[in-house]
A and B are shown apart, each in its own frame.
Chain A
Amino acid sequence: MMKALLKTTMLAGAWAVSALVFAAEPKLPAHSQLDCAKCHDAALIEKFKQLQQQLGKDAAPGWDRVAEAIPLNEAAMQALGAKCADCHAKQAKDLAASGHAMTYAQSFLNREHNRMEPPMDDCLRCHAMFFDGAAGDLVKPLDTRGPWRMADEKLAGHRSIMCVSCHQIHPERWLSPPSVAAVSDRRTATEDTPRRSETAATEPSKLVGGAATRKAGFFDRREHQFFPADRLPHPKVFKDGKPLKLSDDARIRVCYQCHAPGAAHHAGTSDDRTLRGVHEGMSCLDCHSTHSLDTRAACAQCHPASSNCGLDVTRMDTTARAKASKHDIHTMTCTDCHAKVPKARQ
């Protein structure tokens, strides 16, 4: 009981703090209020207008239809990605300084990794979402012997993860394919009564994580689709056959698309970092800042700077990368440090 209460308080505290951080951000106009030319070049806009005229209708032509008419290759995606920083300078800077800022060369020429497992198509799912080809077009050879090199040296510096990996730029209502309801609506719709098909798509998300569950998501290259977090599956993870408590924060679904356990969803398998131990049930975003991934400020939100044992929590080795550390935040339990823990508190 005590433990549960403590945890809830901690979670609530962390949540309140991060909400405050969001509120402090300067207010930017919605993407729907921007001119196309803010991000796109004239040639693309012209192509789009042609498509509109060809279709001869006032309904949005739908995602797939636009993509067929205006396919974007990786170079175009990289160029578009760079535009985000014009408005979102802080986020871009944070991302650039984070572990997510890896390049293709860093992702695919990692000798330690490639000796263990060869580069393969599945790597592209997280490490080259927008690449125009298969693994063999990106890195050679596809084996565990190496030496590995980029198939094309020009690719080396490309970003593995861009803003559009996790963010959908256009409002979803613009992207829906036509529907019979929308066609019927068109005849009755006026300035004041929006189309049914639009209102349905813009209903605010009620999930934990708030509006971010619509803004953040995952681009799945296998489906060529962006999945907003509110539509991604919520992870279930097991430890010793029992389900672990996972945060209700829908934003963690994005994390789990890449930081995923194996098919049986056992904690700690594959790339899984599910919190188990004393931090079980917290959200990834309770500690990690969304773009910088930085966690240093997080511990002190709940813990006294100096813990009972005199260790400075802000200097403890808490990262999952430190395999030898007893203080990996994702797995640490009371008994990792305390020899005698009352049974009731374990």
Chain B
Amino acid sequence: MKYNRRRFVKTVAAGVGGAFLLPARGADASVWRFFTNADARLVDAITEQIIPADQDPGARDAGVINFIDKQLAGRLRRHRQAYRDGLIGVDETSRAMFGREFVVLAPEQQTEVLKALESGKAKGETWRKQSSAAFFRLIRDHTMAGFYGGPQHGGNRGYASYKMLGLDYPQIIGQNRYRRRS
């Protein structure tokens, strides 16, 4: 019987000690795999609306932006164009509704913009390419996955959602070797 070896990426001893030794390149160089820094601020703001912080961390604290960025450079690569267009569309809708970019809106205004997207009736040229509702569903699902999925994919930092749900993680569980003794 032959088993596939998984590509086991070890993280525990990876060296990052030189992190602070090298000079910085331009302040606008993107720290993200796919997004520009500006894109990332926008996506971060959208995800925080989808799962806002309250007594428990929200999407921002849980690093959902890192999940989406990482996956758009990997398994969700096929959705890149939807994001490129969709992010332009979000700001178009935002300007049409409130005259300003999404990230600078008050939280209540941001909610209104996203509700407009969700309804499929958002204003913006870009939404001729894909419906605003379809893009909203996409980013909503990715936010949920980044927040509620396993931390190994870049989101759910500090296992925030598992803690919120009271789930032991990693689960404390042994094998059945021994009979119950007490």
Q: Do chains A and B touch in the complex (CB under 8 A)?
A: yes
Set of chain B residues within 8 Å of A266, measured between Cβ atoms: 180, 182
Q: Which residue of B lies closest to A136 (CB)?
A: B3
Q: Which residue of B lies closest to A240 (CB)?
A: B182
Say yes or no for A104: interface residue by CB 8 A criterion.
no
Closest 5 A/B residue pairs (Cβ) = A270-B174, A58-B24, A56-B25, A233-B168, A268-B181
* Cβ of B21 to closest chain A Cβ, rounded Å: 8
Say yes or no for A276: interface residue by CB 8 A criterion.
yes
**Interface residues of B, count at CB 8 A:** 59
Evaluate whether A60 and B175 lie within 8 angstroms (CB atoms) in the complex, with A134-B3, A225-B11, A225-B151 already known.
Answer: no
| A235 adjacent to B182 (CB under 8 Å) | no
Q: Which of A256-273 contact B (CB under 8 A)?
A: 256-257, 259-263, 265-272
* Cβ of B38 to closest chain A Cβ, rounded Å: 10
Say yes or no for A187: interface residue by CB 8 A criterion.
yes
* Cβ of B18 to closest chain A Cβ, rounded Å: 6
Q: Which residue of A lies closest to B5 (CB)?
A: A133
A-B contact pairs, 10 of them (CB 8 A): A45-B18, A49-B22, A57-B24, A58-B22, A80-B13, A179-B66, A218-B170, A224-B9, A224-B11, A261-B174
Q: Which of A35, A61, A116, A117 contacts B17 (CB 8 A)?
A: A35
Report the separation of the CA atoms of residues A60 and B27 in the bound assembly, to the nearest whole angstrom.
14
Set of chain B residues within 8 Å of A170, measured between Cβ atoms: 13-17
**Interface residues of A, count at CB 8 A:** 95
Evaluate whether A187 and B180 lie within 8 angstroms (CB atoms) in the complex, with A48-B18, A170-B15 already known.
Answer: no
Q: A39-B13, A177-B66 are in contact. List 9 more A-B contacts (CB 8 A).
A: A36-B17, A66-B15, A67-B9, A71-B7, A77-B13, A131-B8, A133-B8, A170-B15, A176-B157
Q: Which of A147-168 contact B (CB under 8 A)?
A: 164, 168
Say yes or no for B154: interface residue by CB 8 A criterion.
yes
| B66 adjacent to A48 (CB under 8 Å) | no
Report the separation of the CA atoms of residues A56 and B22 in the bound assembly, to the nearest whole angstrom.
9
| B7 adjacent to A263 (CB under 8 Å) | no
| Overall SS of chain B's interface | loop
Report the separation of the CA atoms of residues A93 and B70 in the bound assembly, to the nearest whole angstrom.
41
Report the separation of the CA atoms of residues A114 and B3 in the bound assembly, to the nearest whole angstrom.
20
Which of A57, A61, A63, A132 has most B Cβ within 10 Å? A57
Say yes or no for A17: interface residue by CB 8 A criterion.
no
| A133 adjacent to B6 (CB under 8 Å) | yes
Set of chain A residues within 8 Å of B114, measured between Cβ atoms: none
Set of chain B residues within 8 Å of A261, measured between Cβ atoms: 172-174
Q: Which residue of A lies closest to B67 (CB)?
A: A177
CB-defined interface of B1-41 with A at 8 Å, one 1/0 digit per residue?
10101111111111111111011111101111100010011
* Cβ of B50 to closest chain A Cβ, rounded Å: 15
Set of chain B residues within 8 Å of A177, measured between Cβ atoms: 63, 66, 70, 154, 157
* Cβ of A222 to closest chain B Cβ, rounded Å: 7
* Cβ of B144 to closest chain A Cβ, rounded Å: 19
| B3 adjacent to A224 (CB under 8 Å) | no
Set of chain B residues within 8 Å of A271, measured between Cβ atoms: 174-175, 177-178
